[in-house]
Amino acid sequence: MRIDLHCHSTASDGTLTPAELVRAGAAAGLDVLAITDHDTTGGWDQAAAARPDGLTLVRGAELSCRWHGAEPAIALHLLAYLFDPAEPLLAAELIRLRSDREQRAEKIVEKLRADGVPITWAEVQEYAAGGSVGRPHIAQALIRAGLVGTTTEAFASKWLGARYFVPKSDLDVFEAVRAVRDAGGVTVFAHPRATVRGRVVPDRLIVELADAGLFGLEADHEDHTPAEREQIRALADQLGLAVTGSSDFHGTHKTVKLGAFQTAPEMYEKIVSAATGVPVLG
């Protein structure tokens, strides 16, 4: 059983539409695929309508969170699975995050244009194709303008990583865990030891999150070294948390392929059994 629990579509910053994503998952030989766009459930209905026979769809989202126990606060992501999207508190927070994400992107474009960079907000919106606008769409505009060659280069400090960086609003991580739990879902800490992305949180925070209802840790991920994966597994075992593996697929924004990293069937079953918000499809 091949299970990939972390995939993105054009509903946020992937390059495949939700329908294309589920078809690509089936073509890649997956049995289970989770759609986890950033701070949105906007791709759920399209993915469900296009789901091929034989592919089970897990509906989820990747939530932008922050831990305020360090100075400055540390950004982190939670994968939220099988929650009720109509639960008022969580639904309101997702709307707020999407609105902030769009305002942030527009501010970045304004800063770039003030320095003479030949991109427009209308162009960036076109790349988003009706989904939530994010920095990868600005990166596409920079690539089109011939200023960078890849999304990775666009995210470097010369461009979106520092010079044209604009902070964004996030959920307090403890509030996010509680909100997802109250909506009948379960949370998994996405790439918790990805030091290549910047600062990571201490183990003591993960212990506190486990006490607050965190369900699992994503261990097998392209941004984790083998040693980091083993550290995560050991901590999850100590705390009684589920362990997942996922591609974090974004299409052409990243080189990683669907199913490159996978979740063990027994861990997947734990997640499904614990969630009461919405069922899996398939």
Residue 87 belongs to a domain: yes
Contact 190, 77 (CB under 8 A): yes
Residue 236 belongs to a domain: yes
CA 231, CA 46: separation in Å to the nearest integer? 37
Outline where 183-242 has alpha helix (H): 203-212, 226-239
Q: What is the CATH number of the domain that holds 66?
A: 3.20.20.140
What pLDDT score was predicted for residue 214?
98
Residue 216 belongs to a domain: yes
What pLDDT score was predicted for residue 136?
86
Residue 212 belongs to a domain: yes
The verdict on whether omega for the bond into residue 72 sits within 30 degrees of 0, i.e. cis, is yes
Nearest-Å Rg of the Cα atoms of the chain is: 18
Between helix 173-182 and helix 88-114 the angle, nearest 10°, is: 140
CA 254, CA 150: separation in Å to the nearest integer? 9
Which are the contacts of 151, defined by CB distance < 8 A and separation ≥ 6?
136, 139, 140, 143, 253, 254
| Residue 13 domain boundaries | 3-96+171-274
Residue segments in the chain with a per-residue pLDDT below the cut of 70: none
Q: Residues 250-270, buried b or exposed e (16+ Cβ, 10 A)?
A: bbebbebebbbbbbeeebbeb
Residue 156 belongs to a domain: no
Residue 272, Cβ density class (10 Å: 0-12 exposed, 13-18 middle, ≥19 buried): middle
Which residues face 117 on adjacent strands?
Answer: none
Between helix 203-212 and helix 173-182 the angle, nearest 10°, is: 30
What pLDDT score was predicted for residue 132?
79
Label the pairing between strands 74-81 and 32-38. unpaired
Strand, helix or coil for residue 243: strand
Residue 112 belongs to a domain: no
Residue 159 belongs to a domain: no
End-to-end distance of the chain based on CA atoms, in angstroms? 14
Q: Other CB atoms closer than 10 Å to residue 187's CB: what's the count? A: 27
Tally the domains of the chain: 1
What pLDDT score was predicted for residue 155?
87
What pLDDT score was predicted for residue 253?
77
Q: Which of left, alpha, beta for 81 (phi over 0: left; psi -120 to 50: alpha)? A: beta
What pLDDT score was predicted for residue 167?
86
Q: Which of left, alpha, beta for 83 (phi over 0: left; psi -120 to 50: alpha)? A: beta
Residue 115 belongs to a domain: no
Quote the strand ranges of the chain, DSSP E: 3-7, 32-38, 56-67, 74-81, 171-172, 186-189, 216-220, 242-245
Which are the contacts of 73, defined by CB distance < 8 A and separation ≥ 6?
66, 67
